[in-house]
Structure 1
Amino acid sequence: MTITIVETLSDSPLTPEELTDVDYRVWECLTERNATWRYSLLSVDRHRMICTFDAPDAESVRESYRKAGGFFNRIWAGEIVKPEGIQPQHNEAILKVFEGTYPPISQAELDEVSHKTLNCYVERGIEWIQSYLSFDRTRLICELNAPDLESVREVQRKLNIPFDRVWSAMVIRH
């Protein structure tokens, strides 16, 4: 199975706790294609959502959304990158999501940037939970426990690492 990410940005508030006919059709299509929902991250303002799936491939998820009339901005396949050792848990009171889009990055470049970033995170009381890196190595989504959004932004600016957005999130599970 492949980790597949569905990104949604909406002008109107997203309400995943109130399933619609479209949501049920998407679930049916996903089931037919052997895709399984893992969990989702919803912005506290409810305008941004990231859904994670285990699926045969990203195209299976994309076809499910399209066939059922589901809305999405981007669907991509990638890998999970986790810290070594003890796995931090989501703390919804301080859960943040960092998103970045970059030119393809080599493993050596990623390792160097990660080392610098993690050291700065520790100084600011930020805990890295895990990240999703697209297979083409151009898209990165990081889950963090951080005291505030500005702490995360400060680290990125200090290290001259551009980012698309940083937002507070809540976890949605079964």
Structure 2
Amino acid sequence: MPRYIVERTFPGGLDLPTNEAGDRLCRQIVDTNAEEGVTWVQSFVSLDRIHTFCVYDAPTPEAIREVARRNKLPVDGITEVSVLDPYFYLGIGHAGAEAKKPSRLRAPWLPFSYLVA
């Protein structure tokens, strides 16, 4: 399934309460998304709460736009992305220390569709 970053602007700031009302709203959004095969993975919110950058798995950008419309959420842009792993080379540990044996390339993240074709 393709992965996308969805950029949104909330001119008055994102208002998502951290209580039962916020929980209900998130569940409603997730349920509506599921109707189009869209999964909200996570979101990043700017400190002023005006901009969000949301990670979605979805069949198409159009599916994301449709659920955004139904959820009454703005969409400034949708960009299909892939993962760039900073530990792309084998032999480099998470602390950045090189291993004693030579590094060899590891295939970058591939969409699941490549694996089942």
Amino acid at match of 2:33: L
Which structure carries more relative contact order (alpha carbon 8 Å, separation 6+)? 2
Q: Structure 2, unaligned stretches of length 5 or more?
A: 96-117
Distance 1:32 1:43, change over 3 A: same
Pick closer, same or farther for the CA change 1:16–1:77 going to 2, 3 Å: farther
Tell me the secondary structure at the aligned position of residue 81 of structure 1.
coil
After superposition, residues 123-138 of structure 1 pair within 5 angstroms as none
Structure 2 contact 42–56 (Cα < 8 Å) conserved: yes
Query: Normalized against structure 2, the TM-score is what?
Result: 0.60
How far the C-alpha of 1:87 sits from its partner, in A, is 6.1
> In the alignment, what sits opposite 1:145?
none
Amino acid of the structure 2 residue aligned with 1:56 = P
> Which structure shows the higher strand fraction?
1
Task: Tell me the secondary structure at the aligned position of residue 57 of structure 2.
Answer: strand
Deviations along 1:131-173, one digit per CA (max 9) or x if unpaired, are xxxxxxxxxxxxxxxxxxxxxxxxxxxxxxxxxxxxxxxxxxx
Which one has the largest radius of gyration?
A: 2
Q: How many residues align?
A: 88
**% identical equivalent positions:** 25
Q: With structure 1 as the length reference, what TM-score do the two structures score?
A: 0.42
Q: How does 1:12-31 map to 2 (within 5 A)?
A: 12-18=12-18, 19=22, 25-31=28-34
Pairwise CA distance, 1:47: 1.1
CA distance in 2 between partners of 1:55 and 1:32 (Å): 11
1:62 and 2:65 equivalent?
yes
Paired residue for 2:6? 6
What is the CA-CA distance between 1:28 and the residue it aligns to? 2.5
Deviations for 1:62-85, whole angstroms, at most 9, x for unmatched residues?
A: 111113322221123222222225
Partners in 1 of 2:72 and 2:25 — Cα distance? 6
CA–CA distance in 2 between the matches of 1:15 and 1:3?
25
SS of match in other structure, 1:63: helix
Q: 1:20 to 1:54 in 2, by over 3 A?
A: same
Contact conserved, 1:9 with 1:49, CA < 8 A, in 2? yes
Aligned to 2:39: 36
Give the whole-Å Cα distance in 2 for the aligned partners of 1:14 and 1:87. 35
Q: For structure 1, which runs of at least 5 residues remain unmatched after alignment?
A: 89-174
RMSD: 2.6
Query: In structure 1, the residue corresponding to 2:69 is in which secondary structure?
Result: helix
